[in-house]
Structures are given as C-alpha cells and as structure tokens.
Structure 1
Amino acid sequence: MVQIVCPNVEKHSVKMMEELHRMKQENDHCDFTIQVGDDVYYTHRNVLSAGCAYFKAMLKHDTKESREGKVVLKGVDSMCVKSCIDFIYSGKFEIPDEKINDLIHVAIMMQLEDVKQAVSDVLEGSLNVENYFSTRNVADMYGLDAVSTRCRAFFLENIVKISNQPEFGIVEKTSILNFVKSEQFKLCEEEKLTLLFNWVEKNRKNQEHLCEFLEAIKFDEVSPAFLERVLETNLVISNDLGLYKLITGHLLKASKASQKTNEEIGKDELIILFDDEANCIKSFNPVTKKVEKFHDEKFKNLAHFSAISLDSYIYVLCGNKSVHRLNFQTKNSKWERKKDMICEHGTYPRVVTSSGLLFVIGGSFPKATSVVEVFTPPLNQWIQLEDKPAAICFTSLVSLNDSIYCIGGIGQDEVIVSSFCRFTPSSSEWVDLDPMRYAVSYSGVVAVEQKIFVIGGMSGGRKKVNSVECYDVTSAQWTSLSSMNACHGRVCAYHIGKCIFAVTDGGTPNAIENYDISQDKWTVVKPKVDKCCRIYKSAFVKR
C-alpha cells in the first residue's frame, strides 16, 4: 500500500474548513438547526459533533434534539451562539466588547475551552483602567484564573488611577487600609489621600471609616497646593464640616511650614492699635509699655470694621461685607482684598478665630441676625453654616476646646441679654449654657486655660460697666471677679503672659487696664505715648 500525503496538509485543512463554513452559510446539506429566540442557525451534525463536546454528547445518543434535528437554546445571547458556531466551523469569531460576558457564558455551556482561552487572552491583553472592574467581575464569575491574577497585579500597579472609576467604592475596606498603611506599595501621601477621598466619594457609606484612615496619613509630607486643591474640589470635604476643618488645619500647618517670610521683624507679643487720629497702625508692647508705630499702611480708606489676627496677617472685616488683610511680618506689605462675606453682619462684624478659620456670628449695628459663616484663608472662601437659633447683635465671641462661645449681646427685641451658649463647628450644634449674672453686650472676652473671662461692656441704656465675670468650663460655674478701675463700653481683651489686658475701642492707650489673674487685681497701665492716640480698633499679634 502506498501512502500519498498532500504537499500542504495545513492548507488543505484550512480549505476544508472554509468550504464547510460556506456550506453552513448557504444552508448546503445542513441537517441540524440551532434556534435562539427568533434566530435560526443551520448547521451540520458531523461538524458540530467533531468540533464541540456539548453537541457531540447531544447528537451521539437518541435524544429529542437528535431525533428532531433541532435544538432550542434559552437564556443565552443569540450573537454569542453564532460566534461559537463560527468558531466550530472556522476557528475564528468576532464579538463586540460589550458581549464578552455573554460569550464566556455560552462557551462554558458548549464546553469550548479554546473559545474560553481566546477570550481570556483578549481580556488580559486589553485590560485597562476603564475596564478593570468589568474584567475582574467576568474573571471572578467564570473562574478565569489567569485573568484574575493579571487583574490583581494591575490593581496594585494602577490603584490611584483606578480610584477615579465609578465602581471604586465597592473595593473592600481591608484593601484600602492596606494601601494606606503599608510602605511596600510606595504610594506618596498625596496619592493615599486621593485614594481615600475617591473611595468615599464613590460610596458614601465608606465615610464612616475615613477619619480612622486619615490617622495613617503623614500630613507633613503633603504639599499645601495639594490640600488647597482638595478643599476646593472635593465634595466629600465640602459636605462635612468636621472633615473640612481637619483638612484646613493641616493646610494651615503645611502653609506655615513652607512659608518664607521676607524681612521678619521679631517675635514679640503685641497689641495692635488702629490710631484713628494719625490714621496709622501702632503697637503697644505689654513689657516695655511703649506705644509706637507698627506699620506704614493707612486704614482710613476702609469702611467700619472689626479687626483680628491669624497667623501672619491682620484681618479687617468691614460693614460693607468686604474683607482685607495685611501681612504684619513683612515690611512694605499692602492691604490685600479678600473675598467678601456672604451676608450682612452690620458695621462691626463679630469675628473669632478657631482652628485656623475665621467665624462670623450674628450682627452688629443696625440689626441683629442669626447668620453664621466661616472663612478659610488658604482658599479665600466663605461658607455659610447653620444659623444660630436666636438672632443676636453685638455679642462677644471666644474660642476654646474646638468650640466657640457666644456671650451676651442685644437680642432681636433690642434688649441686652445675659445669654451664654456654645457652638461646635464640627457638628453645627448649639447648646445653651447657664447665663451670666449680668446682661451685657460688647464685652471683652478671653479664654485662659479652662476659664472664660467676660470684661466690661454695655448694659441697659447704653451704660458702660466695669464688672468682670469668669466662667469655669470644667465646673460650669460663674464667678464674679474684681471690677476694673473704670467703666469701659466696647472692650477687647487679650491674654498675654500671666495677665489679661483690656483695651477700649474709641478710647486712648491711657485707658488700657491690666488684670493680674493670680491676684485678682486690675491696674491702669499708663503706657508711654509720644503723641495723642485714639484707638479705633485693636488686635493681638505674635511676631
């Protein structure tokens, strides 16, 4: 017997497959139909049996499908069934990306391992940030081990980019914590923060874990520019005042650490006096008792205002809602216009600093208001918070233990009140506390350790008073202290060293009084003044 071998067996096999495929397409000698919904595909029993274990088992025995020459497939995609039939005939198939999941299902049902492997190869090769989650889901659902392994490696390599995908919120807490705490992934702290905020933004239920995860962040390695960008754009932070305050605090620390001051002047604790007579800014040194020129900038072009210092700046908040600041650490600095307040707060907005932010509460002349708003200096941004329960005018504010205490003032009925309440910015919660013994407005208030001192102010009939009260936060008790030597109406109080200094708006430096806390004793300071000075406003600075 002579064995004759075709010169090109491979070419012959390909030609045979192409011819069989043509016969299927033209329904030539077809003897078996596959129906999916309204679609009918004509095939050949012998080809199906030779190329597919599923059909081989079906057609080998005396089954209903074998007898009738027909099978109806349910719960499968028609296009994917056609692709699998094409593969049996030709070894090739086409399928849209969105049908990959359905194709894997049909290939597994038909026991077409080559199709399953081909799809696995395609999934691995086309894996990217956008399709990561859908690919991982297909791999996990159908046991594509090689694809699952590739997905895990891809996740580790690209987690920051993947965190921008909508499905990122479903990632397990343990995986996120591992990335934040572990050093092996070589993520910088800014990338870790991006990861965390994206994780919460994509699934708000994850927010309950955020503060815990933030404890693992080394904020000293995060740039101020990054924190500013996060505060400006991140919805998670803007909708959570406590978180907003936390990130802002870190931003202020970072800004201070990176700030390079030009021509710094010194490190003294001073009381700044806005001299209404000379239209200049002077300083009172509590140690030397000297009053002298502090800065060249004028202030008469500013409207009625209140003044306060924060970090290296003196801020003035004007009756026309405008806000200005001056860098007192730098010579030749100029007033810088900042973003206006959102609401009207009267001629002398009542302002206090807390955790690096400016809080304005209530109003002043001509009316009471319940509005509360907060300013973030690095972002130049005001946000209106929940209103105070009762409108108030000319109240006094002091910050202690991350809370703001609101003391006295004039109520909506134009009656001076003795009210005393606490506002917690992180929760926007207001709590009424035991009232003062006397009803006063425009008092000087200052916190020393766990005590709040309320000094002077105005009583009924616009009468100036010299009374002094002290509230012990620990015991929640009010105590009357020694009165000042003179009555003072619009008082600002500052804690310097072991003493409290009381300065009267509209008064002169000669009206400044010094309170020795340990001796419960007031003394008129009698500072050294070269020229007449009328104090319009004052503020406390460290330089």
Structure 2
Amino acid sequence: MTTEDGLTIRAHSLVVAAVSSLVLLRLQWRAGDRKEEIQVCLGPEVSRLGLAAVLEFAYTGAVGSLNQDSVVQIQSAALALGVHRLLDLCEQEKEGKKKMEGKKEQEKNTRISAEEQLESSLQSIRLMLEERVDCDVELEARQRTFHAHRVLLAASCDYFRGMFTSGMRESKQSSVALMFVEDVELEALLRCSYTGTLMLGWDLVFDFTSTALQFQIQPALSLCLEFLHKEIHPQSCLDVISFAEAYEMGELRELAEDFVLRHFPEVSVTPKFQDLPVDKLLWYLQSNSLCVPSELVVFQAVMAWIQSDPRQRTKLARELMETIYFPLMTFKELKEAEAQTKWLKSNVESLYETVLEDFCSIGSNGNMQYRAYLPKDNLVLVGGEGITSDYANRKPSRALWFGNSLRNHTGIIKDVEWRTLGEMPEQPRFSHEVAVLRGQLYVAGGRHYYGREDVMNSMFRYDPLENNWRRLADMQEARSNFAMLVVGETIYAIGGDTDSEVNVDSVECYCSTTDAWRFTHPLDLALSSHAASVWQEKIFISGGFSRDCQCLTSILQYHPEKGTTHISDMSQSRAHHCMETLANHLYIAGGLSYDASSLCLDQLSCEIYDPRADSWCTIAPLPIPHVGAASCILEEKLYILGGYCQEDYNESRLVHRYDPATQRWENMGRMPGANTDIRACLLQIPSHLRK
C-alpha cells in the first residue's frame, strides 16, 4: 500500500481485506499466481496518518489516534479503502456520541469495542475461507484436502509458522501433505484456528489434544486443556493421568491425581481402578490427601482390586491391608468387611487370614487414632469474641486460626485440626468482614470494643506467602455488621451500622490497584446484620435488620450502577445468619428471627435459593443454633462455624458441615478460640507455616 507522498507499507492481504471492501474486491478479482503481491496506490486524500490508522484498526480493532484533530484524515483513508466499520467510528467521533465518564471507563469501552471489531473481522475471514478467497495453501490429510490461509495458520500454530517462515520446502509449495493426521482432527483444528471454538467430548479430546500438542496449535490446545480441567469425572480421571504421563504434562497429571484422591470413593468403583499398578495404588492409599468418609471405603477398594486378579494379587494383601486403619472402623463396619470376604473365590484363603489377623490387631496400634486429610485450601478463622454475662471480662480477639487437616476418627466422629496463624495488627475485631482476592486476605471494619465510638473503618491485607500484614486505605464509612465480598477484581462493602449505631444504605467498592475506596449506588433501604454472596458475578443480599429493627425475609439483587432489585422472599425472616454459593445455589442457614409477638428466636431452618428458577426449597435444619456464626464452602460442602444461642445466650462452640450429596449435617468438632461474630474464609497456607 503506497501513499502519493511515497510511503509504502507492507501488510497481510487477508487481514486488510477483512475490513476493506477495496482490498477484498482486488483479492476476488486477482487471477494467476496468488503469491503475486497486490499493489494498492492511494490518492492524495489518504495521508500517512490515515493509512496508519486503517492498518491499526485492521490488526487491533481499535484506533488510538482517533480524536477531533485526526478524524478528518482517518475518515478520508477509510472512505478510500472502503473500511465501513471505521467510517462508523469516525461519524461517532464527529458527532460526539461517545461520552466517557473518565479514563477508566474510556479504556473499558475501547477494549470492548476492539473485541467486537476483531470478531467482525474474523467473521469476514471465515466467509473468505468458505468462498476460497485468497486461500494460498492446501493441506492434504489421509482422505481429504482442506483449503486455508498461510498467514492465519502461522498466527495460530507454531508448527505452520516454522514451516512457512523459515525457508522450508513447504513454504514455496501450494500443497502440504499431512498424511499422519486424521481428517476429522485436522478439520476440527482448522475450524478452531478460524473460529476459536472446538466441539469436544471424551471420545475426541485426547486425540485432539495430542494433535494440538504435535502442531502446537495454541487456541485448540488451550480449549482441550480447559475441557480436561473442567469436565474431569471419576470415570475419566485415570485416563487423564495416563495421557498426561505419556505426554509429560505435569500440571495436568497433578490435577487429575488430586481429583482421584479427593473423589476416591467414586473412582475406586470404576473398572479402570482395577487396572492400577500396585505402586500407584499404594501411593494413593498412603497419601495424606486421600479423602474417604470411612475406612470401610478403603477396605472395599483394596478388596475389589485384589479380586480382579486374585492369583497374582493375593500375595500383595499384607502390604495393602497395612494402609487401612482398621481400629477406626465401627463394629458394624468390621462385620460388613468380614462379610465381603465370604464371596471371594476359594483360592484366596491366605487373604482371608490376613484380614482376620488385622481385625484382631484392633487397638494394638496406638498411632491409629484418626486418618488425617490435608485439604488444598485451608479454612481460616479471623477475630471474633467470646460471650460472657460480665462485659468487663469479655475480650474481642485478634487471633487467626487455620484448619490444617480434617480428621476421621472411629465411625462418624470427625473434627478439624486447628492451628494458630498469628494475630491481626493493632486492635481486635468482631462484627467485621473478610474477603479474599488473588490469594490474599482482606480484613475490614467491625468493632474493637463495645462502646458507641468503637466501630472501625480501617482495612488490612494479609499475604500468606510472605506471612505479613499491610495497612490499606480506610473505608469511607465506619461499618460493623455489614457484608463484604469480591466481584471480579473489586471488593464491595455493603450496608452495616455505624458509630451512631444507625443502619446505613451506602455501598462502597475498593480497587486494589489504586488502593482507594469509592461509593457506588446505595441500597434502596438501610441494612445491618444481613448476608451477601456472589453467583455468576451477581451480588445477592439476604435478610438483616432494617433501620426500624424489623427482621427481614427479603432477597435483593444488587448492581453497583443500578441499585437493588427485589426477588422472591425467603420463607423465614433472619438476621446474623450465613449465606454461601454452592453448585449454582445460594445456601442460607442459621441466624435469628422474630415471631409474631416480636420475641427474638433462634433460626434453625435452612433454605436454598435457585437464581435461575427464582425458587426456594428447604434442607435439613441445623442441629443447634448458630447466631453470628462464620461460614465457608470447602470442597463443595458448607461449613457453619461457631456463633451463639439467642434463647439462652450460650456460645455454640461446634462446627457443622452440610454435605449436599447426603443432605445431612455433620459434627466437625469444636471451635479453637473465639466463637461469636467471627468470620471465615479459604486461603492456601504455605507448607512451611503448616509444619
């Protein structure tokens, strides 16, 4: 492309034709050798600035230099080259239709616009492929031949980039033979290069991943790995491990092995589990990340593995049985285990004797008091207080605790192994809030004591990798009994009560990049002691107290720019309760409520809200009251931690866990320190702090 003043710029015809009707027409009319370059000589109306803007738009979808001073030159170039989408942008600029509210909003709109423009360009390129416009290479698979554009193949695939740009013989050929690739694989991977999409299933994903690795087609490889990460299940995880080992994909192998350990009961009953080599089976059984509800599950897995080839595997029984904690079985489980040996074939008498010998050794090993399971993420408890009738002896807490392991004791007895993580800086906190962003803990607001002026607006950040705290910008309003959560990269502080013990409707958000808070759209009513959670980037707020101390049944959906929308109410009023998002549902548990005579009562009922259907259902009630408790989701189970009983004002020192699979609450042991107005979150605690 040459301007009248002598500037010559070389560009890719496919990219420019995707936006320029003039260049597209030249490509459609071009005859003969497609390697011959197209010469576009532009008239005096096209300046250097205008041509540069057209090319920037073709390659990026945006024009950074478009403003009131340059719009005429850019418009002239766009008109000469037939770049209609750029002409539309010039018209918008001239008419002043783009009204930005600040630099940040302008960058956001520019980014979104660029993505839309690039998608339109890709649609044009796909149409050119269908019409075989400017297709300059043929790819020969085993039975079919596919037409394509070299520049697009080189852009999306390291293999073709090397082939077409390094002087290889194929760089000068119009046809490239790929006889080692199946037709269906090459067609799908080519489609991915042009569309960014890939139709995947377990019948195809391993072949597609292998081919994408071989050709280093990054878009397809990313989609394949995303599928393997998100869609892995008990029937496929062992195949994923074998594939990852064959192709030396360490991260994928670790993910799949972690899945096996954390879903061991489901994996152990699949046919592929019986094909495991003994060393791999032992590695799973001896891992401290093995998650099982009871030792009977481990016993059944071992027996099924031996039974699949008893002649060869009976001799390994002793070594395998040593991984089972028989003393943790109940008498009923022992009887069930013994019964399962009776249907084995007669040639496993030695195995049966081994099992009986281990049964008889119950209690002989004093170290077998529990099986410890180390979760990847750790429950962390922050601050809180202890309840006593004497306010003078009440002491808010600065302590942080983390759950190092989950322990299975005999039968259904379980607990959390709590360890100290240090203390918050400066003052203690209760009725505060916590949030986790990029693996770091944010602690804000709350009270440090019981006076009217003891509500705080300060915020600190804890980095578990560095094991240190940093003071951050204060909230614009002091808050306690509020809600705080993360949406994307932004932290929101919602409602609460202030120094004057008055509920507020204000909402503010925190940007970690600028270390600054700013107010967003307020709620349509003042709230305190409410709960909030996020589902699909949407904020939901439940219950709480209104400014006139009414305990509410309402559920609100909050938008930072539009405010609140009322949706279907809860069946019960509640405040000082918990709400968490799990498996596309909002789980609401605990708290207190008022009866018809305005008597304050413990709220044991629990409800689930489905945002997609805007509907409610109930689940099993809590075993004991949990008012002012902490809550968290760990490995697809809901934890309710601590709190107190409103009716007798005694502390609830227990941890309860709800498992959606069994629809039951489990007792997970006792709290380690403060119990009331405490907060919980998940962090990954470094190994050196867990020792």
| Structure 2 match to 1:471 | 609
The reply to whether residue 374 of structure 1 matches residue 509 of structure 2 is yes
Match of 2:316 in 1: none
Percent identical residues: 14
Q: Superposed, which structure 2 residues align to 1:482-521 within 5 Å?
A: 482-505=620-643, 510-521=653-664
How many matched pairs? 334
State the match for 1:324 in structure 2: 460
Within the candidate set 205, 211, 214, 2:112 is matched to: 211
The yes-or-no answer on 1:409 pairing with 2:544 is yes
2:483 match: 350
Deviation at 1:422, TM superposition (A): 0.6
Deviation digits for residues 376-407 of structure 1, max 9, x if unmatched? Answer: 11221212111111121111100001110010
For the residue of structure 2 that corresponds to 1:167, the secondary structure is coil
Kindly indicate whether the alpha-carbon contact (under 8 Å) linking 2:483 and 2:494 is maintained by their aligned counterparts in 1.
Answer: yes
CA–CA distance in 2 between the matches of 1:435 and 1:417?
9
Mapped partners of 2:381, 2:481: distance in 1? 16
Are the counterparts in 2 of residues 463 and 489 from structure 1 also a CA contact under 8 Å? Answer: no
CA contact (8 A) 1:271 1:538 kept: no
Q: How far apart in 2 are the matches of 1:273 and 1:292?
A: 10
User: Is 1:453 equivalent to 2:587 in the alignment?
Assistant: yes
Q: For the Cα contact (< 8 Å) 1:485–1:523, is it kept in 2?
A: no
CA separation in 1, counterparts of 2:95 and 2:474?
Answer: 30
Aligned: 1:309 with 2:428: no
- The question of 1:340 aligning with 2:474 is answered yes
| Aligned amino acid, residue 375 of structure 1 | Y
Q: Closer, same or farther in 2 for the Cα pair 1:327/1:486, shift >3 Å?
A: same
Distance 2:375 2:569 in 1: 38
- More contact order relative to length (CA 8 Å, sep ≥ 6): 1
Q: Deviations over 1:74-124 (max 9, x none)?
A: xxxxxxxxxxxxxxxxxxxxxxxxxxxxxxxxxxxxxxxxxxxxxx99xx9
Instruction: Specify whether residues 351 and 145 from structure 1 end up closer, same or farther in structure 2 by C-alpha distance, changes over 3 A only.
Output: same
Q: Give a deviation string over 1:143-170, Cα, whole Å, max 9, x none.
A: x954744554565799999727543567
Aligned counterparts of 1:404 and 1:493: Cα–Cα separation in 2:
17
Residues 74-473 of structure 1 aligned to structure 2 (within 5 Å): 145-146=43-44, 148-153=46-51, 163=65, 166-168=68-70, 171=74, 204=98, 211-214=112-115, 268-274=376-382, 279-285=398-404, 287-288=406-407, 289-299=415-425, 301-304=427-430, 305-318=432-445, 319-331=455-467, 333-334=468-469, 336-344=470-478, 346-364=479-497, 366-425=501-560, 427-460=561-594, 461-473=599-611
Q: How far off its partner does 1:349 sit?
A: 3.1
Aligned residues of 1:291 and 1:528 also touching (Cα < 8 A): no
Alpha-carbon shift at residue 538 of structure 1 (Å): 2.6
**Separation (CA, whole Å) in 2 of partners of 1:485 and 1:173:** 74
Q: Distance in 1 between matches of 2:76 and 2:117?
A: 14
Moved more, 165-174 or 395-404: 165-174
**1:390 & 1:303 partners in 2: Cα distance?**
26
3-state secondary structure, aligned to 1:418: coil
Within 2, Cα distance between the matches of 1:200 and 1:509?
66
Q: Is the 8 A contact 1:407 1:419 kept in 2?
A: yes
Contact 2:538 2:558 in 1 (8 A): yes
| Residue 271 (structure 1) shift | 1.4
On the 8 A contact 2:490/2:511 being kept in 1, the answer is: yes
Contact 2:476 2:517 in 1 (8 A): yes
SS of residue in 2 equivalent to 1:466:
coil
Cα deviation for residue 527 of structure 1 reads 4.8
> Where does structure 1 lack aligned partners over 5 or more consecutive residues?
1-119, 125-143, 181-194, 219-265
**One-letter identity of the residue aligned with 2:663:** D
Residues 354, 418 of structure 1: alpha-carbon distance in 2 compared, 3 angstrom cutoff: same
Is the CA contact (8 Å cut-off) linking 1:282 and 1:291 kept in structure 2?
A: no
Per-residue deviation, 1:488: 1.1
Q: Which amino acid aligns with 2:378?
A: L
- Tell me whether 452-461 or 404-413 shows the greater mean CA deviation: 452-461
| Residues 291, 527 of structure 1: 8 Å contact kept | no
1:187 corresponds to which residue?
none
Q: Secondary structure at the match of 1:523?
A: strand
Question: Structure 1: which amino acid aligns with 2:508?
Answer: E
Q: 1:542 corresponds to which residue?
A: 683
Q: Distance in 1 between matches of 2:54 and 2:476?
A: 45
Distance (Å, rounded) in 1 between the aligned partners of 2:95 and 2:676: 50
C-alpha separation in 2, matches of 1:309 and 1:443: 20
User: For the Cα contact (< 8 Å) 2:632–2:639, is it kept in 1?
Assistant: yes
Helix, strand or coil at the partner of 1:379:
coil
Which structure shows the bigger proportion of residues in strand conformation? Answer: 1
> How large is the Cα RMSD of the aligned pairs?
4.2
Q: CA deviation at 1:536?
A: 5.5
Q: Which has the larger radius of gyration?
A: 1
Inter-CA distance 491–296: structure 2 relative to 1 (3 Å threshold): closer
Instruction: Point out the more displaced range, 273-282 or 381-390.
Output: 273-282
Deviation, structure 1 residue 280:
2.7
Q: 1:168 to 1:518 in 2, by over 3 A?
A: farther
Name the residue aligned to 2:235. Answer: none
**3-state SS, counterpart of residue 410 of structure 1:** coil
Give the conservation status (yes or no) of the 8 Å contact 2:50–2:77: no
Q: What residue identity is the alignment partner of 2:632?
A: Y
Q: Is the CA contact (8 Å cut-off) linking 2:642 and 2:675 kept in structure 1?
A: no
